[in-house]
Amino acid sequence: MRSKALALAMLLPLAACGKQVSAPPTTGVTDELIAKGPSDEWLTYGGDRAEQRFSPLDKVTDKNVGELGMAWFADLDTARGQEATPLMHDGTLYITTAWSMVKAYDARTGAVKWQYDPKVPREKLVDVCCDAVNRGVALYGDKVYVATLDGRLVALGQKTGKVIWDKLTIPKDSHMAITGAPRVVKGMVLIGSAGAEYFTRGYLAAFDAESGAERWRFYTVPGDPSKPQEGKHLEAAAKTWSGEFWKLGGGGTVWDSITYDPATDLIYFGTANAEPWNPAYRNTDGAGDSLYTASIVAVKPDSGEYVWHFQETPEDRWDFDSNQQITVADLDIGGQKRHVILHAPKNGFFYVLDARSGEFISGKPFVDGINWARGLDPKTGKPDINPDAKYELTGKPWLGIPGAVGAHSWTPMSYSPRTGLVYIPVNNTAQAYSHDPDWKPGTTGFQLGIDASPGNVPADEAVRAATKAAMTGALVAFDPVAGEVKWKVPLQTPTNGGTLATAGNLVFQGTALGDFRAYAADTGKQLWSFPAYSGILAAPITYSIDGEQYVAVLVGWGGVWDVSGGKGVTSRITPNISRLVVFKLGAKGALPAPPPSVERVLDPPPVSGTPEQIAMGSKLFTNSCSVCHGNAAVAGSLNPDLRHSAVLGSAEAWRNIVFDGALAHNGMVAWKTQFNADQIDAIRLYVIKRANEDKALEGK
């Protein structure tokens, strides 16, 4: 234990701004240890500083992976989505589960060492698009850091799980939430927030690792132009916005990628969409680029000072977040050694940028069918935007590819320096966008300015089957130098798991349908699979103890925008049974067989209400409710399918829940500040109609 006196002695005054600055840790998990990258341990979210998710461990190989079996598993205490990358240090495996809970296990046996519950208020669920997920902890010195859904950063003792400090990092009472994993560097903990769909102003912030004191905060979008901006970069950015954009926040949140690069001494991070999505409601004098949204930004770690940015999707109106994992690599490009950033954002183009300057090197599609842009300028990387995709100008619905789910979202990719390939979990999805001429800023839930209801899948079996067939996924091995797909494994559904590459010529990935698989990294040949029964989204890791190589992954689907239910995919074979599962060679364990799935028969009250009421309900449901309860009211396995709701027949009971918030303790908050009583009932009438349509189909 470090003495209090020593801890105080480590607090050095920072002359520049008078803030207390602690020295980085010299024992335990240090910057030097993290910089070495994964060997026996896995110390940081992306595996190493370069976030390559490549392990040099090679005891498990393409020759013997067939002998891989389950060593142990641990049931988790929540069935919601699991997104965390486990970290392993000193024989202990650290994970987070849904609701930002932290658990520490003996990495060899699975014995629980300690657990911590930050007691996140369940009402916070309304401020996130995609479940109460968390992507993992950071380890630094003798501490564990977790960022919670309700916006706190908490430091815990690595050995004990006891709270050392607990600090609110988001503005009080804001709609921001945190789902991402913190990163640590130079005595600081870095974290941003989610929420670019909810009137928020994005930022990345740095906190003193010892005390929790805020060191700097870098805003990604300008504030009120009549007041001084927090830096010259924001004065420049303000020129790319118009109207009273700041009143709606601007978006650009930093909800996932944060990469520190020791070679350049820069922090790179990705930013989300501008808020609201529809530029007609934020750049009222015409669409501008809305800097620094949908961008990669580089800042200095010591001050948070702006260095460079590259905007991947100027004037975004399709929710093309650039928050996806930022991987650093050294590549031979055109006969030159280049230190580069590799990035596969939602917009479907794979970017290679110079890490020092942000200079565009290349940008090539990693999915088929991209229609929002006709290509990228080979010199600048600027997209040639399809005029038909500007739905706010055409006034017509636009079926965009990729959709808002993204060609690739947060599910981590990996890069193998051995094969030179990037392994990307890819989504093939489309999305209908249309201008909503009647939109007004609201108070609760998504604030997008679009009407997505023209994209509702009708109650028609043929259309549903066609939609289902068009919504797929793939594991894509992309060659960043050649700018082309080297091999591809088609997957039945979108939103599959993150990937891990190893020196054993292997790539590991879980699927949304509950398989955990190993492929040959060079050819894509499937070599092994394990039935995990519930869908997998999280990325696996590998570690070694006493010469034994282990592979660990979290099982439990959720935490991505659930496009499955409403599109008729209904891909979940069972409701989630969320688990941590660990493998090693020669182990023979098997998971308990899942309970049989239960057929649920629809039994709704008869259709009532006028066509006008039902049409109003359709629009309101689609734009505010479908994000949790599914397209066309067909939910996935995670949130209640309202077609089966027991209160459909009672306007009063429905109002108690939806208007007054009777189920707020479950995360279903009151919507009375967003909707009036007539609107709440119109949503009920629409769901009744949808249930009756689907009941008629069941009878066929």
- Catalytic amino acids? 319
Q: How far is the CB of 13 from Ca ion (least distance, A)?
A: 40
Segment near Ca ion (CB under 5 A); pick from 69-77, 311-319, 351-359, 550-558: 311-319
Site string for Ca ion, 256-295 (x = CB under 5 A): ----------------xx----------------------
Q: Nearest distance from residue 409's CB to Ca ion, in Å?
A: 9
Binders in 195-224 for Ca ion, by CB under 5 A: 196
Instruction: State the amino acid at position 416 in one-letter form.
Output: S
Beta carbons of 186 and 207 less than 8 angstroms apart: no
Q: Which is nearer to Ca ion, 129 or 554 (CB)?
A: 129
Closest CA to 37 of 25, 19, 49: 49
Smallest distance, Ca ion to C-beta of residue 131, A: 15
Nearer to Ca ion, 150 or 319 (CB): 319
Q: Give the number of other Cβ atoms within 10 Å of residue 9's Cβ.
A: 10
Q: How far apart are CA 256 and CA 536, in angstroms?
A: 19
Q: How many CB atoms lie within 10 A of CB 604?
A: 20
* Residue in the structure block whose two tokens are 């999305």: 431
- For residue 196, the minimal CB distance to Ca ion (Å) is 5
Restricted to residues 490-519, the positions that interact with Ca ion (CB under 5 A) are: none
According to DSSP, the residues that pair with 339 across neighbouring strands are 330
Residue 405: CB atoms within 10 Å = 22
Check if the beta carbon of residue 430 is closer than 8 Å to that of residue 400.
yes
Q: What are phi and psi of 439, to 5 degrees?
A: -65, 140
Given the complex with Ca ion, which of 158 and 283 has the nearer CB atom?
283
Closest distance of CB 537 from Ca ion, Å: 17
Letters for 317-356 (x = contact with Ca ion by CB under 5 A, - = none) are: --x-x-----------------------------------
Nearer to Ca ion, 196 or 413 (CB): 196
What is the Cα Rg of the chain in Å?
24
Question: What's the min distance (Å) between Cβ of 503 and Ca ion?
Answer: 35
By CB under 5 A, residue 312 contacts Ca ion: no
Residues 529 to 558 in contact with Ca ion, rule: CB under 5 A: none
Structure-token match 């009250």, residue found: 605
Beta strand 68-75 with 87-89 is unpaired
Tokens 């020092």, residue?
356
> Which of residues 398 and 410 has its CB atom nearest to Ca ion in the complex?
410
Site residues for Ca ion, 566-595, by CB under 5 A, read none
Instruction: With H, G, I as helix, E, B as strand and everything else as coil, classify residue 410.
Output: coil
Only segment of 313-321, 558-566, 605-613, 675-683 that touches Ca ion (CB under 5 A) = 313-321
Please give the size of the binding site for Ca ion, defined by CB under 5 A.
5
Residues 614 and 608: their CA atoms lie apart, in Å, by 9
22 or 179: CB nearest Ca ion: 179
Q: What is the distance between the alpha carbons of residues 161 and 176, in angstroms, rounded to a whole number? A: 26
The 138-177 contact track toward Ca ion, x by CB under 5 A, reads ----------------------------------------
* Cis-peptide into 383, omega within 30 deg: no
Q: Which is nearer to Ca ion, 301 or 558 (CB)?
A: 558
Q: Which residues contact 97 (CB under 8 A, 6 or more apart)?
A: 76, 77, 78, 82, 84, 103, 134, 554, 578
Q: How far apart are CA 279 and CA 310, in angstroms?
A: 20
CB closer to Ca ion, 37 vs 494: 494
CB of 83: closest distance to Ca ion in angstroms?
Answer: 16
Our CA angle for 571, 409, 355, nearest 5°, is 155
Counting Cα atoms < 13 Å in the Cβ hemisphere of 638 gives 32
Using a 10 angstrom Cβ sphere, with 0-12 exposed, 13-18 middle and 19 or more buried, the burial of residue 437 is exposed
Give the separation between CA 632 and CA 194, rounded to whole angstroms. 26
CA 149 to chain centre: 13
| Shortest CB 273 distance to Ca ion, Å | 4
Interacting span for Ca ion (CB under 5 A) from 56-64, 189-197, 274-282, 337-345: 189-197
Is 211 or 311 the residue whose CB approaches Ca ion more closely?
311
Q: CB 592 → Ca ion: shortest distance, Å?
A: 37
Candidates 6-14, 71-79, 193-201, 655-663: pick the segment binding Ca ion (CB under 5 A): 193-201
Task: State the residues that interact with Ca ion by CB under 5 A.
Answer: 196, 272-273, 319, 321
